[in-house]
Amino acid sequence: MADGPTITTIAERAGVSIASVSRVLNGLPTRQETVRKVMAAADELGYVRNAVARSLKSRRTHQVAFAMADVGNPAYLAMLRQIQPVLKAAGYRLVLHSTDAVVADEIDVLHSLGERYVDGLIMSPLRVTDAHLQMLAAARAPVVIIGTVPEGTPVDNVRADSRTGVRLAVDHLHSLGRRRIALVNGPPDTWPGASRGAAYREALEQLGLPYDDDLVQIGDFYRAQGGRAVAELLERAPDVDALMCANDLIALGALDVLRAAGRRVPDDVAVVGMDDTDLAAASWPSLSSVSLGSAERGKAAAELLLDRLNGDDAAPRVITVPPRLVVRASTAGETYGHEGGRT
């Protein structure tokens, strides 16, 4: 919903057309009487910080960008749903970039900060390369990274704790009696892929389960690729009894393939996803998933960026959002009463 004064409400107050308000606020030639009415209405409605200020050649654009790694992944939409209202309430228009986690595109977005189309940026890269670090060090506007950057990187940073998250999921599967627990992961050269792979190995060790290469399958963080990875895994390790999937899209691909293969979920194979997206609760069977706090991370990132836009020049901050396991039908079967329950 729109908050605060807009050119629509200014036009109503001034008794002129919306197009006239737009002309005045954009500094285009307009009759003096119209300019007077629009400026008066804008003042009364408290619009000054916004477009009027812009038309007076302020260096601020009152736009902020959010560069999403995958606009088709509801984990990022959950972030967006928190980021947008926080920034809007503060008078910022949000623009989005869809980078598909392509490094050159992310670098281009960081570079574009020098063009002053936006006052700040929230970015969720899957890989943080040397090029990212160079650009972050030279960034011409405040940047908040949702993801993990090395210590000493001069930007605010909101992290998930997927290590603990994977641990929660593997412990849960173990407690249900599963012993052939596979990992279906994304690319290991991404931060999420690397950290989830290491966490899986660690979790098995802590439980005294052997690590078996045959039980680790690498795909990508998309549904179709997740499905293909699980099909390969089932051929190589037909005795698998549980899948830890590195995100919900992979897990949905797993459900597709298990169904087609006639494997019952969770009786034959239990499945856990990661991110606890809207799709997890809505899938059939509903999907147990580790929430990495997408919504909380989005909100924290927006608030950190607002602080910077308001002039805060404290040292870079790191916020880590704790994970939690949401148990649903894909592991709990007919069991009711867990959070989320069976839909």
Pattern 115-144, its own copies, x by CB under 8 A = x-x-------------x--xx-xx-x----
Question: What does the alpha-carbon distance between residue 323 and residue 166 come to, in Å, rounded to a whole number?
Answer: 9
Binding map of its own copies across residues 72-101, x = CB under 8 A, - = no contact: x-x--x--x---x--------xxxxxx-x-
Residue 45 burial (CB < 10 Å; 0-12/13-18/19+)?
middle
Tell me if 34 contacts its own copies by CB under 8 A.
no
Shortest Cβ 91–its own copies spacing (Å)? 11
- Identify each DSSP E strand in 4-56 by its residue range: none
Asked if residue 149 binds its own copies (CB under 8 A), the reply is no
Phi then psi dihedrals of residue 209, to 5 deg:
-90, 145
Is residue 152 classed as helix, strand or coil in its secondary structure? coil
Cβ atoms of 69 and 126 closer than 8 Å = yes
Residues 243-262 within binding reach of its own copies (CB under 8 A)? 252, 256, 259-260
18 touches its own copies (CB under 8 A) = yes
Nearer to its own copies, 22 or 320 (CB): 22
Q: Considering CB under 8 A, how many residues would be counted as binding its own copies?
A: 62
What dihedral do alpha carbons 154, 134, 115, 74 form, nearest 10°? -70
- Asked whether position 58 contacts its own copies by CB under 8 A, the answer is no
Whole-number Cα distances in Å, 301 to 78, 224, 245, 269: 13, 30, 26, 37
- Asked whether the beta carbons of 204 and 265 are under 8 A apart, the reply is no
**46 binds its own copies, rule: CB under 8 A:** no
DSSP, res 50: I
Question: Which one of residues 103, 198, 209, 261 is an interface residue with its own copies (CB under 8 A)?
Answer: 103
Q: Which residues bind its own copies (CB under 8 A)?
A: 1-2, 6-9, 11, 17-19, 21-23, 25-26, 28, 51, 54, 61, 63, 65, 71-72, 74, 77, 80, 84, 93-98, 100, 102-105, 107-112, 114-115, 117, 131, 134-135, 137-138, 140, 223, 252, 256, 259-260, 278, 282, 284, 343
